[in-house]
Amino acid sequence: MLRLPFLAIANLLLLLRTLLGAPFRMFAAGSRPAYVRFRLTGDPPYREQRKPRFSLGGGSKPEPADVTSLEKFGEALRLLARDAKVKGVVLEVEGLGLPPAKRDALLALLAEFRAAGKRVVTWAVMVDTDSYPVLCAADEVLLAPMGRLELVGYAAESTALGEGLSRIGIRPQFIRRGDYKTAPELFTHPEVSDIQRRTVESFLDERYAALVEAVSAARKKTPEEVRALIDQGPYSAQRAKAAGLVDGLVSEVDLPLHLGMVEKKDGVAPEDDDTELEPMEMYLETVPFPPVKWRRWKRKPRLAFVPVSGMIVPGSGNAGGRFATSDAVVKGLRAAARDKRSKAILLYVNSPGGAAIASEQILEVVQRVAKKKPVIAYMDRVCASAGYMVALGAKELWSAPHAVVGSIGVFAGKFDTSGLMQQLGIHKTVITRGANAGLLSFSRSFTEGERAALEADIEEMYQSFLGHVAKARGRTKEEIHALAEGRVYSGLRAKDAGLVDKLGGFEEACRYALSLAKVAPGDFELKSYGAPAPRMSLLKLLMGAAHPATYALCPVSWDLSGDAKETLVSLADEPEVDSWLRRFAHKLRGTVRAP
């Protein structure tokens, strides 16, 4: 009850500010823009994250027109759709990097806006294959005259370092459970295996088919025509217009003139005209009574958001990075469970895998928390291997159609650097007490006894993984084994295989989680718990991965872009491995000769 007087005062101040500013906004209403400008760049979040009250800074401030979240963008579009004076929006696309699920959510917002009778005009200087479906989901698609359309389809490039490592005297020794657990092949194979190739091709086929369908529908062309156009890419702006892939070529400064926002005299636009496309905040200054965020008497229901983003590793850490530590995730889950305002929990998993022991720690906590509150696991990028194990503790698993799911398997091993040390004139002798005490030594290969012990340990770990999946999915271990051995699925195929429960978007998953907590449909707030861990070295992790409790990684999490990318794992940082090898080669130049 103590908060009620403060809420009343806060709302009174908001009312006064609105009323005092109304005359100025009424005066400016005559210059209300017909089109409002938005800028889509990077990877804006689904929803705004609550910012700390006090901050020491850091990070760049977004531009006024930047879309900072799909939630805020949707709110802006719905407000503009109700304004009869607004004709539409101009969406500038620049360096967009959305996963397919988020792109679909964005396209749904634009479709809703267009269904309200408003126009969407998209404009870009350069756009790639992934961004093009966003660009062409409009009434009019424009490019800058000097622009380019990099519509070339998708490529994924897999790497095999086995022969290169052998030339400098390094012998990778990895033991895996499952032919489809191909992550170690990066280091062990001289060439990309057929299994790896077929797996990559299955994802390329699925993504390519979705691209053709989207472009075909948007540009009113047959699938055959679209495939032919993709094969003729990339395009200059002039060629893109001639091919019917864009509607016009307009420079940024001429956009207001092109949209009819500049008043012409005798059919000619004045040379000194300075009309510009204004962002949403400038539009709000022309609305006499803009929407006000009143302080609510009754708080919105809260959904806890616990991210598991990056490779899962044991230990603690709270700095920004690409790894999820078990300590940070466990603390986040426990805090979400204690929060009485959080009625349910969305476990957002974007991980290619990681440490089996860390993932089992997190799984156990997810299972305990799920007994107190509804927990829904959602995946829109990668939920594989140890990442998939973490998700098993949720009540239901939701996936985006093109997410990477599965990779149920285990591998472990080490690098034998004895050949390299011999070439450098370095001599090491491993002296042990205990048959397997030298298991982790880089100075020699596994002995027969060490290899047998490691194989037994890996088999036990694999059977444990199968048991977790079988229990969570209500299947037998034999049924799961037929789906496992490292096989990787898209969300669509994972749903058919029974590895996920539902296909859907982020907002759908959030609202479903709240519905399980008996929360009435409506607005809600999202509060994040848990923090990412510091950046770590994949190479260091692999070189210490001589025990199956250390590693269970998904072999493939590709960036299926128009340009070929390195593709062990998006979080595996192959450039770091490449840099490491180049440093070795530089040091050994003149000493080591390629056979």
Has 166 been annotated as catalytic? no
Has 181 been annotated as catalytic? yes
What are the residues whose beta carbons fall under 8 Å from the beta carbon of 176, sequence distance 6 or more? 183, 184, 409, 410, 411, 458, 486
- The one-letter code for the residue type at 470 is A
Cβ-defined contacts of 315-318 (< 8 Å, 24+): 315/358, 315/533, 316/533, 317/531, 317/532, 317/533, 317/534, 318/531, 318/532, 318/533
Catalytic entry in 131, 359, 385, 399: 385
d(CA 421, CA 492): 48
What is the number of other CB atoms lying within 10 angstroms of the CB of residue 62? Answer: 13
Helices (H), 372-505: 386-391, 418-424, 448-473, 477-483, 491-497
Strand order in the sheet with 552-553: 323-325, 311-313, 353-354, 552-553
d(CA 364, CA 370): 10
Q: What share of the chain is helix, strand, coil (3-state, %, to 5)?
A: 40, 20, 40
What are the residues whose beta carbons fall under 8 Å from the beta carbon of 468, sequence distance 6 or more? 360, 363, 389, 392
CA 411 to chain centroid, in Å, comes to 25
Catalytic entry in 87, 102, 181, 221: 181
Q: Which two tokens stand for residue 434?
A: 């205990």
> Which contiguous run of DSSP H or E holds residue 155?
none
Catalytic residues: 181, 385
